[in-house]
Structure 1
Amino acid sequence: MSAPSEPLAAPRDWAAEIRDRARALGFADAGVASLALDDDHAHLRRWLDEGLHGGMGWMAEHAALRADPAQLHPGTITVISVRLDYRPSAEDADAVLADAEAAYISRYALGRDYHKLMRKRLKALAEQLTQTIAPHGYRVFADSAPVLEKALARNAGLGWIGKHTLVLNREAGSWFFLGEIYTDLPIDAVPAEPVTPRCGSCTACIDICPTQAIIGPYRLDARRCISYLTIEHHGDIPEELRPAIGNRIFGCDDCQLACPWNRYAKLDATPDFAPRHGLDTARLIDLFAWTEDEYLSRTEGMALRRAGHLRWLRNIAVAIGNALADVRLSEAAASALVDALDSRSAFPDSTVQSHIRWALKRRPAAGSRSTALHSG
């Protein structure tokens, strides 16, 4: 489809029209983004040059595409950015993190994988714009291509980029997904007013990070980030970082949980993001017993599938090792966890085996646990 060569006449505010239609489709907000991305691309290049992306080589390979939307989708002159809230009604995160035998899964991954839902709604919005504004060529994105989505969301007025590198919104905190429509529609919209950053002198996200992955305001070292280590990273998790991972087996929310702005985030009622299979209260010992077939069956349609069964077992072995090191754990509970590790000791993968061996070494010497319990 080809778009009009001149800016569209504006019998009404197209940005407001887009926002209203997006909200009717279930998005929390939408805006038309300025394509001024030079500073953001320079920030990305510095980050890549420092090697802070770890093993995510694709980020460096396609960095140039992020700076110029028209390179990713020829003809793009307008980008529509949307926000989809996801904070689910789930077991209290702090309570799960404090329970050594529980498995903590990042809140966004407890329910349905958002990618298909996001793309479906974005396509519906794009097709509505065909009817409302004009036929157009477009492409939708949901964390599925090299897009500077946080910068575009900021440019669309959806929030500001916080010190933890996530987009923050006064009403929703950071509990939301981002998506984009790249289009050749020449929408003559007034650029969104930039949202004033409101992090101030707060460093809660930096201070709370278990592995000190936020090395400064707006600077994340992915190589130390628990989300990266438990999801993207293949092979051995560095031993020096394993104790700080605690019971986080898929992702980490600590910087979001600590952020004062997330006090204002409302629970999202979308059934798609509700916890599945009781995963918000799951026990490490139960999840470690899942066979590969069980893992594939129970994670179907979920972001959890991204880790794969081997990394799933690797991550849980680390969490069990950290539970064993907790002197508050009863001897009976510790013995059950050791039995679970032993049951997988012959698992045919060297990485899983090495993490199991590490976990078994975390158990305190005999008698020290009961001494600690009585002294406490």
Structure 2
Amino acid sequence: MDDRAKLLATIEAEARALGFCAFGVARADATPLTAQRLRQWLDSGAHGDMIWMEETAERRGSPAGLWPEVRSVIALGMSYAPAVDPLALASEPEVGRISVYAQGADYHDTVKKALKALARLIVSKSDCDLKVFVDTAPVMEKPLAEAAGLGWQGKHTNLVSREHGSWLFLGAIYTTLDLAPSPPHAMRCGSCTACLSACPTNAFTAPFQIDARRCISYLTIEHKGPIPEELREAMGNRIYGCDDCLSVCPWNRFADTAHRNQAFVPRAELVAPALADLLRLDDAGFRQVFAGSPIKRIGRNRMVRNAAIAAGNSGSAALVEPLTALVDDEDPVVAEAARWALARLGNVVEAG
């Protein structure tokens, strides 16, 4: 084994010790079609309010666009595989459904901490420069992870792993090291279209193409204004994200919670929060409940807006009282959602 191979083996061993269950390497130029596909998607307007996608398109299109000195990309995955069916709460309309990834600790903090530790090991073993990224930087993690052999981008556009299903947080280390690349992963969706059919709001315009403006994850997390009325009923009791297209993937039968990082074990209060409690949240209460969670970034108003829409879909008279208290909320988007919900529940409230 030559020195470069020994270094790579040392890096992978440390990565796994730090909690990463998936590891691979791609050349910095391994995803030549990414920039063109990104540009086409942005030109279609499918990114909605995510203006930063447009603003960072040139840097996002390729690793070299962000950092010209990069030669290799180390792609890493950390499992958050759920122990129970994420669709199970669909039949409990008085509680809110939170996407599996957000029920535990904030993945940004957990993954970045591990990436930094791995970076320190790499620097101690080699003469190189590097940069670490997890989600918030203009990095296209999914095509890079596919090129590095971690899995493939499924028809729902998310990464799918043969070993870990749809449940991987992705991180990347850009480095000036010339590391041996891993074999890229082949697409193994076959003729299956389960993920496309599962989408409640028909957000997939075709296999491998998503219109974020119709995606419940986008609507409940990224979108700040009123949610389009024609999509509200389909949201059901989903208040933060949506796991439907991920949950139905047949490859999930191989995902094992034994590989799940313990930081992502769900917090009891986030598994099935009562809509009545969420509707009563003020800013301080919101910060207390969602401290240490990725949910904290959307703020109280978006969470209460989402909860109000779920309440309107619940058919529950018990939610009339907390909704009524919101019809004059300081946030006009929250107030409108509450009035809509009350109308759905048969209690039309005048705007005042």
Fold similarity call, TM over 0.5? yes
Kindly provide the amino acid, as one letter, of the partner of residue 207 in structure 1. S
Q: Is structure 2 residue 197 aligned with structure 1 residue 207?
A: yes
The residue that corresponds to 1:369 in the other structure is none
SS at match of 2:234: helix
Identify the match of residue 287 of structure 1 among 278, 285, 289.
278
Q: In structure 2, what is the Cα distance between the partners aligned to 1:17 and 1:162?
A: 31
Change (3 A) 1:224 1:136: same
8 A contact 2:35–2:62 mirrored in 1: no
> Which residue does the alignment assign to 2:344?
362
What is the distance in 1 between the residues matched to 2:108 and 2:12?
Answer: 20
Q: In the alignment, residue 141 of structure 1 is paired with which amino acid? A: F
What does 1:174-185 align with in structure 2 at a 5 Å threshold? 174-185=166-177
User: For 1:294 and 1:139, how far apart are their aligned partners in 2?
Assistant: 36
1:40–1:151 Cα contact (<8 Å) kept: yes
Looking at structure 1, the residues matched to 42 and 187 of structure 2 have their Cα atoms a distance apart, in angstroms, of 24
Task: Please give the residue correspondences for 1:105-120 in structure 2 after superposition, counting only pairs within 5 Å.
Answer: 105-120=98-113
Is it true that 1:352 corresponds to 2:334 in the alignment? yes
Picking from 21, 32, 39, the partner of 2:25 is 32
Q: Give the distance between the partners of 1:335 and 1:215, measured in 2 at CA.
A: 37
The separation in 1 between residues aligned to 2:154 and 2:9, in whole angstroms, is: 26
Secondary structure in 2 matching 1:261: helix
Aligned positions of 1:269-280 closer than 5 A: 269-280=260-271
In the alignment, what sits opposite 2:350? none
What's the counterpart of residue 47 of structure 1?
A: 41
User: What is the Cα deviation at residue 11 of structure 1?
Assistant: 5.8
Is 2:290 the counterpart of 1:299?
yes
Q: 1:31, 1:80 within 8 Å by CA — same for their partners in 2?
A: yes
Deviation at 1:269, TM superposition (A): 4.5
Alignment of 1:172-321 (within 5 A): 172-187=164-179, 189=180, 191-267=181-257, 268-321=259-312
Q: Is the 8 A contact 1:105 1:279 kept in 2?
A: yes
Gaps of 5+ in 2: 348-352
Residue 68 of structure 1: aligned partner:
62
- CA deviation string 1:273-315 (max 9, x = no partner): 1222521122111222222101111211111112110001100
Partners of 2:5 and 2:222 lie apart in 1 by 45
Residue pair 2:134, 2:171 contacting (<8 A) in 1 also: yes
Q: Mean Cα displacement is larger for which, 143-152 or 69-78? A: 69-78
1:65/1:72 contact within 8 Å kept: yes
Decide whether the 8 Å contact of 1:18 with 1:31 is kept in 2: no
* 1:342 and 2:324 matched: yes
Of 34-43 and 219-228, the range deviating more from structure 2:
34-43
Partner of 1:142: 134
SS at match of 2:269: coil
Q: 1:10 aligns with which of 3, 8, 27?
A: 3
Q: Is the 8 A contact 1:15 1:31 kept in 2?
A: no
Distance 2:171 2:177 in 1: 17
Asked which structure has the greater CA Rg, the reply is 1
Counterpart residue identity of residue 228, structure 2: P
Shift of 1:114: 0.7
Q: Distance in 2 between matches of 1:304 and 1:138?
A: 30
Residues 269 and 161 of structure 1, relative CA distance in 2, 3 Å threshold: closer
Secondary structure of the 1:192 match is: coil
Question: How far 1:71 moved relative to its partner?
Answer: 3.4
Judge conservation of contact 2:34–2:143 (CA < 8 Å) in 1. Answer: yes
Bigger Cα displacement from structure 2, 219-228 vs 75-84 = 75-84
Aligned partners of 1:247 and 1:323 also within 8 Å: yes
Q: Percent identity?
A: 47
Task: Output the aligned Cα RMSD.
Answer: 1.7
Normalised by the size of structure 2, how large is the TM-score?
0.94
Q: How does 1:80-159 map to 2 (within 5 A)?
A: 80-89=74-83, 92-132=85-125, 134-159=126-151
* Greater alpha carbon shift after TM alignment, 13-22 vs 296-305: 13-22
* Contact 2:156 2:245 (8 Å CA) reproduced: yes
Count how many residue pairs are aligned between Structure 1 and Structure 2.
Answer: 345
Which string of whole-angstrom CA distances, capped at 9 and with x for unpartnered residues, describes residues 328-350 of structure 1?
A: xxxxxx32111110122221111
Q: Deviation string for 1:124-145 (max 9, x for gaps)?
A: 111111223x132111000021
- Partner AA of 1:123 in structure 2: K
1:364 CA displacement = 5.0
Secondary structure at the counterpart of residue 195 of structure 1: coil
Q: Note the alpha carbon deviations across 1:174-208, whole angstroms, 9 max, x for none.
A: 10100001111222x1x322222110010000001
- CA separation in 1, counterparts of 2:328 and 2:232? 22
1:248-289 residue CA offsets vs partner (Å, 9 max, x unmatched): 000000001111111211125533212225211221112222
> Kindly tell me: are residues 224 and 249 of structure 1, through their superposed partners in 2, closer, same or farther at Cα, counting changes over 3 Å?
same
Task: Give the aligned residue type for 1:250.
Answer: Y
Q: Match of 1:98, as an amino acid?
A: S
* TM-score, normalization by structure 1: 0.88
State the alpha-carbon separation in 2 of the partners of residues 26 and 270 from structure 1. Answer: 6
